[in-house]
Each structure stands twice: as structure tokens, then as C-alpha cells.
């Protein structure tokens, strides 16, 4: 049920003709209230798409009534005309829904530097508005795909102020409150955020400051720790909208846990669907002097192309892990480093440990665990292997 798992929301996805393939490419998510509280996190790339600039402005008052999203074109690096197009998308959506343009966030994804076919976009907005329904979440999730092979949704729910959240891709809402979400992303996956568009919804009665706190906490340890290929996008956007339709005001910590659960679910789906990937790699760094050290080491390992190639070839080359650690400023003693790959400690005290032929890399899941033996902090980074399919996908992307 995606973004319509939470009560008070409708959604739709249509084919507007933005993509030459005729695939769905325009989506609407609409908050029917009674609350319109919202929060957002955007890319930290200094080159930002026109939709990001527009949405940054309108989220300033902590309220949104709708989100319009398109795939097939990023509307990034398109100059003043692109700014006008982002505004026009908001205005056309506002007119169709009878709300103010400043209540509409805009998200776009696709090729950079190419203007949107605005006649098709605006007609698509009208068509999407006519198809809005409480069952439209899946259609919306499909419409925002670019190189994604699958659409990505997740749901978590709680029964009341004292209940713990239950996360996953289903079932739908119960008598309490729900958080639903959809995401797109399969390439340019790196912080801040990852290359993605994410819309989260909830029917909990939650204020904008509480939404903002929960969202930023969740993003910091989920989307911000997905590092597929080290490339940061111009369009990354994560939105969280609250309708308050359940009438339930959950405990803030439990609500934050539910938001985190949905974000983590979606983040891992991004990694699983990364362009050309044949391995999903979890890099766990423990024993760090600080969380920042753990993140820095984990990210260095996740971005090591030699290691990513080795793991694709099912070679547990732990020397490449140590080489990646050594490029960082983290606190560690090179002669006290331990590395395990899929549970086999192949490196002990900075030297060879158990025989590498004990490591089974035949499956899709790979876990690389590094113990810096310098403290109690830890962090996890998620990445994938580097394959010929990834190179092919990105060598032909704009042709």
C-alpha cells in the first residue's frame, strides 16, 4: 500500500509521455488532513535541481498538502527556465487540488541538463489528479522509477501511544497509527542521502518539529549510510508528511523508531536494486574511537573499487580492506586490526588469520566486519559490488 497505507492520503501514478518508453512517469501524493505537518531532508550537493530549490522554500513553514513527482527528467542544471518549470508543476498541481502552490513540493528524477516537456507534464498532472485514490500508492511508486528494476515500498505501524512499531512491507494499517513510504533509486547512491526520491506518510498526530527530528535521526543512520558508488545526486529528497487522521499521538521515541524502520527498509531495497549489482555488502565497523571514525572507515571500505571487484569475483581479498582503512585519519594501530568476511576472521592483528578459502561468497549477501580495537563506537555502511553491468548501464545512460 506504500504511501497510502497511512489514512488521510491518496496517490496516483500515470504515463504522461515524459519517457519515450511510455512507462508511468508522473505521480501525485496528496494529504487530505486534518493535519498538514511535514518535514524534509535534501541533498547536500551544492549543485541542486530546481525542484529541490522550490521544495526547500515551501517546506519552510513545516506544512505540505501534496507532492508531485516525475521520472524521465531531473530538471537539474536547466537555468531560469527550469526554476519556472518547477513552479509551474506546483501551480498546476495546486489548481487541480484546490490548494496553494506553496503547499506543494516538487520532485524530479532522470537525466540532468534536459528540459522537461512541460506540455506533457502539466497534462499528466491533470490526469494524475483525476486518478487519485486510497489504493494509488503502488502506482505512484512505479511511476517514480528510473533505472530501478523494481518499485520500493515499506510500512510500519503502532497500535497506540504505548505500542511498539511493527515494520515491513505489509500488512496495512490497523486501528492505531501507520508510517508508509515509497522510494526510487538504483544509481548515484552516496551521501548526503543517496540518489533517491523518498516520500513517507503517517496518519499519526505529530507536529512538524517532531517529524523533523524523527526524519533527521532516521536519515542519518539509513539513507546517509548507503554508499553504492560514491556519487552524489543533485535531486535527493526525503519528505515526511503527517495527516493526523488516526487521531493518535504516539510516543515520540516509538514514532521515531517506526520512521527509522521504514527508512532502513527502503535504504536496503535501494542497495539490493543497485545498478548491475550481484552482491549486497554490509560493512560493519566496530571498536572505533568515535562514531565518526567508524563511519569514515566504513565509507572508505565501501568505496574501494578494488575490493568491490574482488567481492564480485568471490575473492575474499582482505588486504584491500586494510588498504582502505589505512587511507583514513581514524584512530587505530595497524598491528591490531581484525577483519572478518562472512564470519571468517581472515585477518587477525593486521596479518593473515584463518584461510581465505573458508569464506563462502557464493551467495548475494556479504558482510565485512572490521574491528579497529580502539574504542566502543560502531557504524554500518551498505554498498554493493562493482560489475560490468554497472559500467554498461552508466556508459549508455544518456545515449
Active site residues: 195
- 8 A C-beta contact, residue 379 and residue 294: yes
Distance between CA atoms of residues 176 and 273, nearest Å: 32
Distance between CA atoms of residues 27 and 298, nearest Å: 35
Distances (CA, A) of 120 to 86, 126, 147, 177, 197: 14, 10, 21, 37, 21
List, as one string, the DSSP characters of 71-127: ESB---S-HHHHHHHHHHHHHHHHHHHTS-GGGEEEEEES-TT----HHHHHHHHHH
- 8 A C-beta contact, residue 109 and residue 237: no
Distances (CA, A) of 324 to 313, 317, 327: 18, 12, 6
Write out the E strands in the chain. Answer: 9-14, 26-31, 37-42, 66-71, 104-109, 152-158, 166-168, 177-184, 197-202, 237-242, 280-288, 338-341, 344-348, 351-352, 365-371, 377-384
Residues 6+ apart with CB under 8 A from 326: 334
List, as one string, the DSSP characters of 341-362: ETTEEEEETTEE-S-GGG----
Amino acid at each position: 500500500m506504500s504511501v497510502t497505507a497511512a489514512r488521510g492520503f491518496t496517490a496516483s501514478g500515470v504515463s504522461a509521455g515524459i519517457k519515450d518508453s511510455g512507462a508511468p512517469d508522473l505521480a501525485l501524493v496528496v494529504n487530505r488532513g486534518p493535519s498538514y505537518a511535514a518535514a524534509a531532508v535534501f541533498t547536500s550537493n551544492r549543485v541542486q535541481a530546481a525542484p529541490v530549490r522550490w521544495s526547500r522554500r515551501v517546506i519552510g513553514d513545516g506544512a505540505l498538502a501534496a507532492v508531485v513527482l516525475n521520472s524521465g527528467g531531473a530538471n537539474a542544471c536547466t537555468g531560469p527556465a527550469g526554476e519556472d518549470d518547477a513552479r509551474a508543476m506546483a501551480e498546476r498541481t495546486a489548481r487541480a487540488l484546490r490548494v496553494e502552490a506553496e503547499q506543494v513540493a516538487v520532485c524530479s528524477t532522470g537525466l540532468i541538463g534536459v528540459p522537461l516537456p512541460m506540455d506533457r507534464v502539466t497534462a499528466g498532472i491533470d490526469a494524475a489528479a483525476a486518478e487519485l485514490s486510497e489504493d494509488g500508492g503502488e502506482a505512484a511508486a512505479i511511476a517514480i522509477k528510473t533505472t530501478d528494476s523494481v518499485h520500493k515500498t515499506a510500512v510500519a505501524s503502532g497500535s497506540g501511544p504505548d505500542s511498539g512499531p511493527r515494520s515491513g512491507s505489509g500488512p496495512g494499517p490497523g486501528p492505531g497509527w501507520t508510517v508508509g513510504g515509497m522510494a526510487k533509486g538504483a544509481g548515484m547512491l552516496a551521501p548526503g542521502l543517496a540518489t533517491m526520491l523518498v516520500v513517507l506518510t503517517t496518519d499519526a498526530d505529530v507536529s512538524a518539529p517532531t517529524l523533523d527530528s524523527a526524519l533527521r535521526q532516521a536519515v542519518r543512520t539509513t539513507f546517509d549510510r548507503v554508499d553504492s558508488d560514491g556519487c552524489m545526486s543533485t535531486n535527493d529528497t526525503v519528505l515526511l508528511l503527517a495527516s493526523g487522521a488516526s487521531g493518535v499521538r504516539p510516543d515520540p521515541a516509538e514514532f521515531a523508531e517506526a520512521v527509522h524502520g521504514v527508512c532502513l527498509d527502503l535504504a536496503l531495497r535501494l542497495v539490493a536494486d543497485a545498478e548491475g549489482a550481484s552482491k549486497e555488502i554490509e560493512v560493519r565497523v566496530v571498536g572505533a574511537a568515535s562514531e565518526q571514525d567508524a563511519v569514515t572507515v566504513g565509507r572508505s571500505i565501501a568505496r574501494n573499487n578494488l575490493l568491490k571487484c574482488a567481492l564480485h569475483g568471490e575473492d575474499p581479498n582482505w588486504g584491500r580492506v586494510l588498504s582502505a582503512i589505512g587511507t583514513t585519519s581514524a584512530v587505530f594501530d595497524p598491528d591490531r586490526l581484525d577483519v572478518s568476511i562472512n564470519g571468517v576472521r581472515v585477518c587477525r592483528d593486521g596479518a593473515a588469520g584463518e584461510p581465505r578459502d573458508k569464506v563462502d561468497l557464493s551467495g548475494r549477501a556479504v558482510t565485512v566486519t572490521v574491528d579497529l580495537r580502539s574504542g566502543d563506537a560502531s557504524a554500518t555502511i551498505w554498498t554493493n559490488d562493482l560489475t560490468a553491468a554497472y559500467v554498461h548501464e552508466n556508459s549508455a545512460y544518456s545515449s
